[in-house]
């Protein structure tokens, strides 16, 4: 079984500041890792994913994440945030070789203030 | 290429009633997964359908059931509604058979309120 822990439920930052949203996971098998974003009253949109290879992955809207196997972490970063980045961010995993079932964390609400 | 569409967008039901939610998957996708997202929580996996067969189920009671049709659209049925069933129900479509590596495309969800 897999579980995902997002360490911060809310992260307030000022516009143009850097941000890091933290994600740790637990699994008895190897996993693929994902970050999704949810804007108010909308579904989820994929930001980026780690399948294999380079541990630093780049996604849409200037976001990137680094996979750290020893620390079982997959933290999301952006060097300079915009007001439009205000949203809920979800970290998720799926078991390698399994179905496309995603196990999500509880989410981090990012609020970007002017 | 059409996206994932869900209907209805909102509905209100009374405790004990039954409800059917619908999802049209993205063109070319053969897998549909359903998730329940309670307020302030992450999505929880309900079940998945791959080529019209159930392909995994989360920790939900049997009163949650589903179907996938030959065109890969899907329904989620919930019987004997309880107040705790109030949530956003998300449908996600993907191309199955990739061992968990594929991207899931989500619909905007159906907001169900049970009173």
CA-based nearest distance A91→chain B, Å: 9
Q: Are A105 and B42 in contact (CB under 8 A)?
A: yes
**Residue B2: which pLDDT band, with cuts at 50, 70 and 90?**
low
Local structure of residue B2 (DSSP, 8 states): -
d(CA B37, CA B19): 17
In chain B, which residues have their Cβ closer than 8 Å to the Cβ of A94?
Answer: 100-101
A103 touching B (Cβ < 8 Å): yes
The residues near A104 (Cβ < 8 Å, ≥ 6 apart) are A4, A36, A90, A91, A92, B35, B42, B43, B44
Q: Which helix (H) or strand (E) holds B87?
A: strand B87-94
User: What is the rounded distance in angstroms from the CA atom of residue A95 to the CA atom of residue B112?
Assistant: 29
Q: Is A47 on the interface with B (CB under 8 A)?
A: no
B90/A51 touch (CB, cutoff 8 Å), yes or no: no
| CB atoms A106 and B41 under 8 Å | yes
pLDDT in tens, B34-92: 999 999 899 999 999 998 999 999 999 999 999 999 989 999 999 999 999 999 999 99
Counting every residue, how long is chain A? 114
Q: Nearest CA to CA, how far is A94 from chain B (Å)?
A: 6
Q: What is the pLDDT of residue A42?
A: 84
Q: What pairs with residue A91 in β-bridges?
A: A35
| Bond before A31 cis per omega within 30 degrees | no
For residue B73, give Cα distances in angstroms to A49, A101, B24, B53.
Answer: 26, 18, 5, 12
CA atoms within a 13 Å half-sphere pointing along the CA-CB vector of A33? 31
Tens of pLDDT, residue by residue over A9-47, are 999 999 999 999 999 999 999 999 999 999 988 889 999
Contact check, Cβ <8 Å, A99/B43 = no
Q: Do B42 and A104 touch (CB under 8 A)?
A: yes
- Using a CB-CB cut-off of 8 Å, the residues of chain B touching A44 are 43, 90, 92, 106
Query: Mapping DSSP to helix (H, G, I), strand (E, B) and coil, where does residue A89 land?
Result: strand
Residue A80 token pair: 């300079």
Q: Mean pLDDT over all residues of chain A? A: 94
Token digits of residue B58: 């989360």
Interface contact flag, B106 A98, Cβ < 8 Å: no
């Amino acid at each position: 079984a897999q579980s995902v822990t997002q360490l911060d439920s809310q992260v307030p930052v000022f516009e143009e500041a850097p941000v890091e949203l933290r994600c740790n996971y637990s699994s008895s098998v190897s996993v693929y890792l994902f970050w999704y974003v949810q804007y108010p009253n909308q579904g989820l949109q994929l930001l980026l994913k780690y399948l294999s290879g380079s541990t630093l992955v780049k996604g849409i809207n200037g976001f990137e994440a680094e996979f750290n196997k020893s620390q079982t972490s997959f933290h999301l970063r952006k060097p300079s945030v915009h007001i439009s980045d205000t949203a809920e961010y979800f970290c998720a995993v799926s078991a390698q070789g399994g179905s496309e079932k995603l196990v999500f964390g509880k989410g981090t609400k990012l609020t970007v203030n002017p | 290429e059409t996206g994932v569409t869900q209907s209805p967008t909102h509905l209100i039901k009374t405790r004990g009633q039954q409800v059917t939610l619908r999802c049209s998957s993205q063109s070319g996708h053969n897998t549909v997964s359903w998730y329940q997202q309670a307020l302030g929580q992450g999505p929880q996996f309900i079940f998945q359908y791959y080529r019209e067969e159930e392909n995994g189920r989360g920790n939900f009671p049997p009163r949650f059931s589903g179907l996938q049709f030959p065109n890969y659209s899907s329904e989620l049925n919930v019987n004997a509604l309880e107040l705790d069933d109030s949530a956003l129900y998300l449908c996600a479509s993907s191309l199955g058979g990739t061992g968990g590596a594929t991207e899931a495309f989500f619909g905007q969800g159906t907001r169900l309120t049970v009173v």
